A and B are shown apart, each in its own frame.
Chain A
Amino acid sequence: MAHSYTPGLRVTPDTVIQRRRLLPILGEVVVTHGATVSATTEVARTSLPGKVYPVNVVNQLSIAPDEIMSYMRKREGEAVSKGEPIAENKPLLKWFQVQVTSPITGTIENISHVTGQVFLREPPTMISLAAYIDGTIVEVTPQQGVVVESHCAFIQGIFGVGGETTGTLAIAVQQPGEELTAAHLQPEHVGHIVIGGSLARKETFSRARELGVRALVVGGVHDRDLKELLGYDLGVAITGTERIGFTLIITEGFGAIPMATRTFELLSAHVGRKASCSGATQIRAGVIRPEVIIPLASADESTVHSPRSKVIGGGITVGDTIRIIREPYFGILARVKDLPSELQRIPTESEARVLVATLPDGQDAVIPRANVEMIEG
């Protein structure tokens, strides 16, 4: 049977996922292999060395660098407070004394005899790394971090902004094709991950921020509204560090696009459950997509009744349902009718590998294989 590799987003009711949690620099892992953790449990910590501030003492005192030590009031390793003198000259008349003061509270790290600079360092900052998802520690890399494993429902979005968060799932619309308006967001949504339908606009973003909603998950947004939300025109899809007051995940793309029924139904099935999500997206080699992770208790397997389907990445075959991801059929779900092996000429006059798909209205359309994706998981 004809078969082709097609990328897609995972939307699965029941899977096991692992998340690697690594410190930016070496530190201490505070959980052990096999430990059960919740999303907010601290798994590792480290102290990040403080910022460094150079002060050009010799310029301020009008002396030569090799004379610096005789003018210093503080030595390497000594603590200083902001505004405290660290060096001074010794004029005959005190009236002419010049003092060099510390711009920060910290320690004297280095005194240079070549350039006459004194380097001061702020106290270290503690960094605490949380587990992010409820689960079990399955791997510990000493001094670096852990791998957390969770039995969960898992939904990948196509694009997001904002970092990791946790909250209770709530649904604010009736249908996947309904727009999530500002009026849909109510005070009970504080601290929740709110599921919308086809679109959220800038007014909805403002309302979410005012209320303290943790995250919005919707089918699409308009690029103009995203630009207003961020305060700049996003150039490359590398996100996750934005500070916009909540996390935004879109599941389909830019524009008003109904959320895929399967995604909507799976999220709806877990309303009231605690979930973790992240808007972090990296569309480069080593792709990262935004995600919603809903941990399952073992008893859940019998209570979640979303249809199971094939695993993505293995390829598509005749009869599979696909989503078309480029004009002129953007956003339409269709069924694969044929996978011809020969290259075919498409309207742009390019030769491309194509498939024939039956659209919802019963018409057949020829689509480049590069322009479809699978959404099942």
Chain B
Amino acid sequence: MNPQDLRVILATDCGSTTTKAILIEKLGDGYRQTYRGEAPTTVEAPFEDVTRGVLNAIQEIEELSGRHILDGERIITPANGTTGVDIYISTSSAGGGLQIMVAGVVKSMSAESAQRCALGAGAIVMDTLAANDGRPSYEKIERIRQLRPDMLLLAGGTDGGTVSHVVEIAEYIAAADPRPRLGIGYQLPVIFAGNKEARSQVQHLLGDTTALSIAENIRPVLERENLMPARHRIHDLFLEHVMAQAPGYKKLISWTGAPIIPTPAAVGLIIETVARREGLNVVGVDIGGATTDVFSVFHEIFNRTVSANLGMSYSIANVVAEAGLDNIRRWLPFAFDEQTLRNQIKNKMIRPTTIPQTVTDLQVEQAIAREALRLALDQHKELAVGLKGVQQERSVSDAFTQGASGESLIDMRTLDLIIGSGGILSHAPRRVQSMLMMMDAYAPLGITQLAVDSIFMMPHLGVLSTVHEQAATEVFVKDCLVPLGTCVAPIGTGKIGEPCFSYRLLFPDERVIADTLGYGEIRLLPLPSGQEASIELAPAKGFDFGVGKGKKLVGKVKGGVVGIVLDARGRPITIANEEDMRVQQLQAWAAAVGLYPSEELKIKN
């Protein structure tokens, strides 16, 4: 069917625990998401057939919508009146997602490019091997033997460059004789995407013992990455080898009207598509129970990272282990003894499906979320960098301004939009809690919009964008994103209470609000979704809105379900070390934006 003729679209995302289905319909001129259903994923015993969960989720949509979609275990296509759908599409992260091991010659060059390629394809990178990674060679071989990845991506050497170093890594792989995670007796899929001159020797070494396939070099010259061919090959092998081993997927693949892609790859696709269409620099985050994915598009360069053990249930204790308990406690507006706090966090780890019932419990989880978000962005910044090893010609004047090779692409001053997703952000009882969690974790600079994914439909829209980009972006803007509002914050630190910046806000109804914020203050000004106001900002000496210290900025701010948050808490945000002071400070900030029920704050005072 021609994409333009699609009127009823059914999409599912088969997650580790839940299979989520949505129905998208063409209503009038535009596409809207109309119904959703969900059911437990059925990859594990006793069902061991992913399609059971898919059928259950679709049945829920049938009941809610009145549309007759299933004929027994068959999805009826095409749509005819209130029967059937025009296309069924799906993403999947069930069974632990796609786990890849990558290898290259130079750690900061081909190995890093291979890592970016695998991450961009939606994989979890289990380890990155390189000739110069500092490990003795027998340790590398032992590591390849121990890990049981779904596939291995081997890069290295520019075209026409080093052969022997690439062959050396291939020899290690051959000596290790690696086994795949799924399917005892099957050969491990290996993709070679390095120096084309080394192909025949890699074929000789790995052709018989692995399921080897060759892709174009991901780093054909030092100055350019060419990640897409290898990324597509990863997706092909994901379907042919990994998915084919997972229970029920052969049937599921036969139902879909477009290739199934890994869930994180689909989220990346929709963020990339929207950033390109709107001309925005975007950071997207999906904080789940076990992992946190970060996506960024800066100046049209897409990057994705996954922090495999930063999450809010299965991995909650690891966030605390990595961040340190003091960094969690700094976000708590009350005193808490260490033993009780540690035990409480571990109890969440062993019973991951429980939810906070008290506000105190909610505040602890939201404090941990701030640190998980911060750590995941720090890891993202390390990988989302310009190409290393590229020679740059500089004049004397350039030497003072030009960024070094390998500098992070993530520049908070030029960031336009932050999109949050995952239970703790999408389902926070108050939307302002989601906004503050992201603001505290990311400390955005200047003028930055924030939004959350309403019901986690970014994966569905990502796979839809491969079939019908316009439908995907329409639903993304109208039904997926919940605009929270805009954060306005200058860079700099000062003394509590001294002037930080003045503002003059001109609303669409011509109302004007003007005032000055003291350093250490935060203020919320309501501005509904869909409205835009003009703002004039005059920072005090030493503060900078991204255009220079003390320089005025005139811009636009967009409204949302929260509104405009004027943030004079400093960058970095300054929190008192002394406990009583910290509690007072956090309670004042919470009261200023209506973060928690007021009775809770009174009780604690």
Contact = CB atoms under 8 A, between A and B. Distances in A.
A111 B213 CA distance: 25
Band of interface residues on B:
35 or more
Nearest to A285: B16
B350 A158 contact: yes
Given A347-B357, A349-B597, A115 B342 contact: no
Interface string A197-212: 0000000000000000
Nearest to B429: A349
Interface string B3-20: 000000000000011000
B349 A327 contact: no
A304 interface: no
A114 B344 contact: no
Interface string B510-530: 000000000000000000000
A283 B353 CA distance: 11
A90 to B, nearest CB: 24
Contact of A49 (B17, B177, B290, B359): B177
B354 A371 contact: yes
B182 interface: no
B201 A7 contact: no
Contacts of B309: 235-236
A373 interface: yes
Contact of A283 (B171, B342, B343, B352): B352
Interface string A212-236: 0000000000111010000011111
Contacts of A235: 309, 315, 317-318, 321-322
Nearest to A354: B357
A284 to B, nearest CB: 6
A348 B320 contact: no
Contact of B141 (A51, A232, A352, A370): A51
Contacts of B342: 222-224, 254
B78 interface: no
A51 B352 CA distance: 38
Nearest to B164: A115
Interface in B317-354: 317-318, 320-322, 338-340, 342-347, 349-354
| Chain A interface main SS type | loop
A362 interface: no
Contacts of A311: none
B361 A348 contact: yes
Interface in A161-214: none
B361 A327 contact: yes
A328 interface: yes
A373 B353 CA distance: 11
Nearest to B201: A114
A65 B351 contact: no
Given A236-B314, A348-B358, A326 B137 contact: no
Contact of A350 (B315, B340, B355): B355
Nearest to A329: B357
B167 interface: yes
Interface of A: 7, 25-26, 49, 51-54, 65, 109-110, 112, 114-115, 117, 119, 121, 144, 158-159, 222-224, 226, 232-237, 253-255, 281, 283-286, 325-328, 330, 346-350, 352, 367-368, 370-371, 373
26 contacts: A7-B353, A52-B176, A53-B138, A112-B167, A117-B171, A159-B350, A224-B338, A236-B290, A236-B309, A236-B315, A236-B317, A237-B314, A253-B351, A254-B347, A255-B343, A283-B314, A285-B94, A285-B95, A326-B347, A327-B358, A327-B361, A348-B358, A348-B361, A350-B427, A368-B354, A371-B357
Interface of B: 16-17, 41, 43-44, 94-96, 137-138, 141-142, 163-164, 167-168, 171-172, 174-177, 179, 184-185, 201, 290, 309, 314-315, 317-318, 320-322, 338-340, 342-347, 349-362, 427, 429-430, 597
Leading 9 A-B pairs by shortest Cβ distance: A235-B318, A349-B429, A254-B343, A223-B342, A233-B321, A254-B346, A285-B16, A52-B175, A326-B354
